[in-house]
Structure 1
């Protein structure tokens, strides 16, 4: 009797045998292709080089056999069937062309490789069936040719399909087995010898194909592992380098790396100092908000490429957002350096095509030689030149000049003064009438603010102190102070008139500004419909969606909205139909040219027509002469504003002159 240990051993041995694959299973596994994506791609690439020639050989062989049997076999076997087989082979040849295979997805290639198993067997069966059909119609020489052609196609097919061993197996067996049996049974004198040779070579080639496949898989796996390790190492190195040196989006130097380079350049300068330039993109936020961040990213990449391609640029980087910095060859004199930056500004302004959309923006550039006691001091002055360029707009380029040093110090001083000033004590308002030329009466007044930094000796225009308010974060406070002063001293709604007050771009864009401004108006007891807020298109350029949302919120609360300086900007016509407006104000630049420029008259007439079609009022600003008045009247403009009808005056003088023309 066996012991318990013997029984346990027997059970384990039986379980191992049950789990071990059968001979047939091992055979099929040895011929089955691997299913990894990179191997599928490798299989397909290799087959695309071999399958088309194989089908070409089939077409040639079928054609030669058909010609050889022409006249001895029926026409359907020498013409119709060969033509159909050739068309089928030609279609498969075209399907497996390398260029077409490279374009297919992994899923498509995986399906193609599975399909090849039955396609190969089906194709071989058709070929053998046709060969068997024409065989009896030939003499010994013709029949020997059939033997030869079938053998050659079988051998070549196995070799060409070596990267798909299961397909090669199906093809070889589907061709060799039926043809060998038929030839042996047919009684040809050499049939046995030919069949033995064919069967032996077929088996040998199938074994060779299987071995080739195993070697191919090992090679591809090794290659993939090497590539994977190289990629991993390269990725780690690149990530470390990128984090320390490069901007992740554009691939150029990041802020830290560029400033470090700038510091070395300033410390190590031996000849003429290099030029430092700051590039700021105008309209970038509009692109981001309108077309999405992907479009904005594409723009930044394009700008980086264009900066790098500019002659004379020795280093460049992205400081953050839409601001770039660059170093220009110190051998350039000021004239050549300025010309290079103007050329760069023009190149940046060229349209960028992105996914069927044309994107546009402009770039303002400030520049200066890298001279100074520190990087911060140099950057401060280049930034001052950039600020000056942005005031000029339209891709302007400004170089920091000696006289700008005085202006910089003054601006720093005046900014500090504004930041510390009591706005209620340093602001005064002047009022300019809007005249109805038909009734010859004043219908509205516009409040114009002035600010003094020195207690009243100098009064500055809004174009000077509004940027100071933006820089010091006091824009909202300034607007509320101006509005409260205007509503307190110029209560023209009590006389049936309206009062216009200018809103800064930040007033239009800031969250909560609608509510805070409405509160000031209601505390003054003014009906909202008698208050007109003048806005410019700068707010629309900075953030179109938020600007239109807030303007609609003002309109919903009863306030009137006037679009100031209309006709001066590029974006006005593109946005006007979507804005909640009550008034269009024709820019004074058009007014100055009205009497002498037919184009100005045509544009003014177009704006008036647009206002009529939108059912809103149209006011022409800056009317100073009788000639301008008459041309505007002839165009049909009824509401006018300018020195011709009244200068900006303190409230008492402005209201006293209501009836003066």
Structure 2
């Protein structure tokens, strides 16, 4: 037996005539029953819906034509049986199998129809054959030849038309051929042998052709299904690749590439009223604390929660994660500035809602910077939204700032200055000023603090607060610090007059490895004793990595430099941390000095700082003293060193040297030395 060309997924053969027919068909011709599976069920049903209605129309037509041929020769009831019973049934089945009706049926109904089809076809063919056999006895030779002809036509049409249901064709062939062949054999018709041979041989050949058509159909359908599966897998893979390329896997929001592409589309859209959409940048306040305290899993939970909350705002067109804890969102263009501000505030408030994680309650807020996307490029829009966000974070946590024309002017000015600073030769654009530090009891000059000024054009001179951020942004803080140190040591040799020279360090200078060695070499080259140089560091320099900052300060102390904690009281001012730092001096922030004469709370805080410095055996200086009332209060509280406009503004090196020269000629009052921590 020739093996089947496709997998045998059919159910086991049923007992009785059905099983015998199936086994006979498989044994002689190959597989005849329908291939199983949802895909094949649909394929068979679609194909047969275009064939069966035509075949049933043929049956109805043959029934009518045969009845007309025998009308008046056979009993009327027998003549009308074909058109009325067989014809009506054929018309009903043709309507039932029309393509539109088949397309509406469920898979379960289609399976039932396909299973019933072969038996219904066989029974209806047998009834039609039986009717013609009964009519055969009433006809003459011409009418009997007509019966032979229409029987063969109907049988051959049915077999060929049911190429996609070979088992039905086989059963129809058996139901028609066996009884009609017997009748022909014993009818005595002059063409009995020829008719019998034609019917049997042609039927067998057509059954083989039908079986071959079915095999080809199954192969084609298997190939089609395999191609469909591959296309579906390719589509799924393309969808997954698209997800990976556009979706942030952590939050489910758009990733950086996708949200930037959305911004490009928004910017490229036609300029219609009321204008372009709004771009909002959202930065999470307190996210680092959550990561450091509860771990990165908690941070991931927070980011996912933020994305879920952003998705609830109807006026947010789209949003995505730019990276870290920063998100970008696009607001509807028809919102005016007040409405945008209100929406951003609502969004910021939504981010304040607690986030549960592993039994803990995580709390944070979100600062928002908003800008209407009317820039020349996406980077321009991001720059302006980021400027608004930066201003929002400077004000307080959870603040909303909308970018304004004033912000635009400030941004342009800052951009211009940034370019000038980045390209400038600092040697020719820097100058130093020196402000005296006064002994509050004797009034003598104790030392000087060097202040640097930078000029973008040789006319305007900017204070460090106006350009230090530029130095950090352009990576020139180290260069700037070394240049200031070298020039100050060269210009103002305060140690020659028994005075100290204070120089400010940027936070990055404090944390950068090798700074202590570089500054010590500069002091050696200038012939300056390291003990006469006070390096001032701000509290901000200690925030990022307190342990590293402490180790770095120890390195400065090991080189002989003295260390002063500048602007104390303006930042975190953690008194519990100060005792661990290698400090020689605490400099009280000028905000406290301004309130010293009028605010009891300020005096209480300053008194605490003074007591702390006494207990630690370090000096205490107060900055920003601008009038006698402040100076008198400072002296009364026991502050030894004072500094501010009341005693002298930052002046040129010539003025500073002249003042020190003059002080040398006067006898200095004796004072009790203040112990310094080793």
Report if TM-score (shorter chain) is over 0.5. yes
Distance of aligned partners of 1:345 and 1:610 in 2 relative to their CA distance in 1, 3 Å threshold: farther
Please give the residue correspondences for 1:337-416 in structure 2 after superposition, counting only pairs within 5 Å.
Answer: 337-342=340-345, 344-345=347-348, 363-392=366-395, 394-416=397-419
Please give the residue correspondences for 1:24-423 in structure 2 after superposition, counting only pairs within 5 Å.
Answer: 240=241, 242-268=243-269, 271-272=273-274, 273-281=276-284, 284=287, 293-294=296-297, 296-301=299-304, 303-304=306-307, 307-308=310-311, 312-342=315-345, 344-345=347-348, 363-392=366-395, 394-423=397-426
Distance of aligned partners of 1:257 and 1:574 in 2 relative to their CA distance in 1, 3 Å threshold: farther
Question: Per the alignment, in what secondary structure is the counterpart of residue 369 of structure 2?
Answer: strand
Partner of 1:57: none
1:326-355 deviation line (CA, Å, top 9, x unaligned): 223334321232344345556657787766
* Residues 438-447 or 286-295, more deviating: 286-295
Distance of aligned partners of 1:341 and 1:482 in 2 relative to their CA distance in 1, 3 Å threshold: farther
Contact 1:537 1:572 in 2 (8 A): no
Contact 2:539 2:572 in 1 (8 A): no
Distance across 1 between alignment mates of 2:337 and 2:317: 16
Question: Per the alignment, in what secondary structure is the counterpart of residue 250 of structure 1?
Answer: coil
1:512-554 deviation line (CA, Å, top 9, x unaligned): 3333233222222222222222122222333434333322322
Q: Aligned to 2:624, which of 618, 622, 627?
A: 622
Distance of aligned partners of 1:651 and 1:361 in 2 relative to their CA distance in 1, 3 Å threshold: farther
Distance across 1 between alignment mates of 2:620 and 2:255: 49
Partner of 2:452: 449
Distance of aligned partners of 1:303 and 1:447 in 2 relative to their CA distance in 1, 3 Å threshold: farther
Partner of 1:636: 638
**TM-score (norm: length of structure 2):** 0.57
Distance across 1 between alignment mates of 2:574 and 2:353: 21
Cα shift at 1:271: 5.0
Distance of aligned partners of 1:317 and 1:543 in 2 relative to their CA distance in 1, 3 Å threshold: farther
Q: Aligned to 1:433, which of 425, 433, 436?
A: 436
Partner of 2:550: 548
Contact 2:565 2:583 in 1 (8 A): yes
**TM-score (norm: length of structure 1):** 0.58
Contact 1:289 1:543 in 2 (8 A): no
Structure 1 segments unaligned to the other structure (5+ residues): 1-231
Structure 2 segments unaligned to the other structure (5+ residues): 1-232, 669-678
Contact 2:434 2:652 in 1 (8 A): yes
Distance of aligned partners of 1:606 and 1:235 in 2 relative to their CA distance in 1, 3 Å threshold: farther
Distance of aligned partners of 1:414 and 1:620 in 2 relative to their CA distance in 1, 3 Å threshold: same
Q: Aligned to 2:470, which of 468, 471, 484?
A: 468
Distance of aligned partners of 1:636 and 1:315 in 2 relative to their CA distance in 1, 3 Å threshold: farther
Q: Which protein has the bigger helix share?
A: 1
1:230-258 deviation line (CA, Å, top 9, x unaligned): xx999989964552222233332211111
Q: Aligned to 1:504, which of 499, 506, 513?
A: 506
- Rg (Cα) greater in structure: 2
Distance of aligned partners of 1:422 and 1:366 in 2 relative to their CA distance in 1, 3 Å threshold: same
Distance across 2 between alignment mates of 1:359 and 1:500: 44
Contact 1:288 1:296 in 2 (8 A): yes
Question: Per the alignment, in what secondary structure is the counterpart of residue 460 of structure 1?
Answer: coil
Contact 2:250 2:300 in 1 (8 A): yes
* Residues 579-588 or 301-310, more deviating: 301-310
Cα shift at 1:399: 2.2
Distance of aligned partners of 1:454 and 1:265 in 2 relative to their CA distance in 1, 3 Å threshold: same
Q: Aligned to 1:569, which of 568, 571, 585?
A: 571
Q: Aligned to 1:491, which of 490, 493, 506?
A: 493
Question: Per the alignment, in what secondary structure is the counterpart of residue 446 of structure 1?
Answer: strand
Cα shift at 1:502: 1.0
Distance across 1 between alignment mates of 2:353 and 2:427: 46
Partner of 2:480: 478
* Residues 269-278 or 283-292, more deviating: 283-292
1:435-486 deviation line (CA, Å, top 9, x unaligned): 121232222211111000111x100011111111112221111111111111
Cα shift at 1:372: 2.5
Distance of aligned partners of 1:245 and 1:619 in 2 relative to their CA distance in 1, 3 Å threshold: same
Distance across 1 between alignment mates of 2:349 and 2:327: 16
Contact 1:285 1:543 in 2 (8 A): no
